[in-house]
Chains A and B, each alone.
Chain A
Amino acid sequence: MFEPETIKRDFPIFANNPDLVFLDSAASSQKPRSVIDAMTLYYERDHANVHRAAYALSMRATDAYEDARGKVARFLGADTDEIVFVRNATEALNLAAHAWGLNNLHAGDEILLTEMEHHANLVPWQLVAARTGAVIKAVPVTREGRLDLDAFDSLLSERTRIFSLTQMSNVLGTVNPVAELAAAAREKGALTVVDGAQAAPHLPVRVHELNADFYALSGHKMLGPTGAGALWGRREVLKKLPPFLGGGSMIEEVQLERSTYAPPPQRFEAGTPAIAEAIGLGAAADYLMELGMENVWMHDRQLVEYALDELSAVPDLILYGPRGEDRGGVVAFNLGSLHPHDLATALDEHGVAVRTGHHCAQPLHRRLNATASARASFYVYSTKSDVDRLVEALKKAREFFAGWL
């Protein structure tokens, strides 16, 4: 049985903030005791630099770090040597864009993105396009909040060299049919990069079934600490990929004027990594695998359906995103013409924490005809009573601002 009330007890933040209704997990999730303990234990018992010295302590640190890599690999259904530790999904996407893009894209080549991307999956490609002369195209979003698949078919062409898309929108909650789209891209000879920052924490991911070449995730959105994320790369692609950052740990042999590089994943981990954070991410992957990602997804689905039903009954509330099996636990909304920032201050008065703004998705907000929105997002510890408190707070906010809506 999946019991969010019981799960909540694993997260010290809720004991320390008993009245908190935390609905901002899509920005950053809370951390279970096991993750915090794994990092503390590492610092108290096993810390030394990794991949360096021949002494026992350093070996222990290295083992713990590499063990965490194995856990992330299992979590994604990948092989351990295909997992590169990075700071977060943003860095993972920058790595893919720069290391692959700068070396493979030429003037006139096309980079295919979508209108529902987070800025982290737009700006790195813009940087690379500016330096290579490649052209950015974007799949539009339909009125329902899904990708326009007809437009995808016409935008995808032999000129498309790389297709980069989110598996789940951080605003609409839409889960995209990545496997199908990536297969079509592959047929045209394009690689596919998947931004899994929102999807990896919430649904079972088997990277090989996605027909993708890269998959980016952020540890801090999936119960892990900030500062640890991962880039999965298909082995054949990683092998041919030149380095992104240079420095210690990523080399084979260094001359004054040139060097040879270590095989992946070390080739992409220059400098001392975030060891404790990687270990924390490993513990988070363990915690989620213990819960079962199918169960996590089912919980999210039930909660978002409940939330959408309840929220639909709040007058003046505008809800964004589709309804259906492809909708994850993210609900963006606006209350009449009230600016979401003002709304969030009112909700905060009732202990309800939601995110407001454009959620790093300005092009999508333009498509939605909104400059900004408020967003509630759920996770393993979110309960129906959290949703009820949100609905109640929204009704009170509506009364408070009644004359001004």
Chain B
Amino acid sequence: MSLLEELYRETIMQHAQKPHNFGPLENPTVRVGGNNPSCGDQIELFLKLDGNVITEAGFTGHGCAISQSSASMMTDLIRGKTLDEALELERKFKAMVVEGQPPAPELGDLSALQGVAKLHARVKCATLAWNALEQAIEEVRSA
């Protein structure tokens, strides 16, 4: 399998074309923007919280298949998770795409993005939504 085939799997392309949770949330608890200035990809992440638990997550923006599918799958995954659990998922996701570690089972569909680790140029695309998540959690906690 070529790197290309390894990366652009059905799961990723489907999420990229029809991203889940796409659109702004009304009255979000927190809303943060993320930019990848090198390519112009943009994301805006919205979270609704009930205490410590993420009850809803949505995003808007534009970008490549990698950044869009990552945001789509991430917003699916973090719904119902506590902030600490979400941060733990972020750590596991980054271990996979940055350090090239095998995907943790909790990452579910996101394991489709493991090929990114072999393409340094695309790591920033895959982590765009996750960096926004980390920033959002920081903002909630410092508020």
Contact = CB atoms under 8 A, between A and B. Distances in A.
A341 B66 contact: yes
B7 A341 contact: no
Contacts of A341: 39, 41, 63-64, 66, 122, 125
A339 B17 CA distance: 11
Nearest to A359: B40
Interface stretch (A225-233, A257-265, A342-350): A342-350
A341 B65 CA distance: 8
A399 to B, nearest CB: 11
A398 B40 CA distance: 23
Nearest to B68: A339
B112 to A, nearest CB: 14
Report, as a range, how many residues of chain B touch the other chain: 20 to 34
Given A400-B4, A404-B13, A342 B65 contact: yes
Interface in A14-35: none
A365 interface: yes
A356 interface: yes
Interface string A180-199: 00000000000000000000
Interface in A52-103: none
Contact of A372 (B3, B4, B40): B40
A365 B39 CA distance: 12
Report, as a range, how many residues of chain A touch the other chain: 20 to 34
B59 to A, nearest CB: 16
Contact of A346 (B4, B13, B63, B121): B4
Contacts of A404: 13, 16-17, 65
B91 interface: no
A97 B7 CA distance: 45
A339 B65 contact: yes
B30 to A, nearest CB: 25
Contacts of A346: 4
A40 interface: no
A351 interface: no
B40 A342 contact: no
Which 5 residue pairs of A and B lie closest in terms of their CB atoms, listed nearest first? A339-B64, A341-B64, A357-B39, A358-B40, A342-B65
Given A339-B63, A356-B39, 19 more contacts: A339-B64, A341-B41, A341-B66, A341-B125, A342-B64, A342-B66, A344-B121, A345-B122, A349-B3, A349-B4, A357-B40, A362-B40, A372-B40, A372-B41, A400-B4, A400-B8, A403-B13, A404-B17, A404-B65
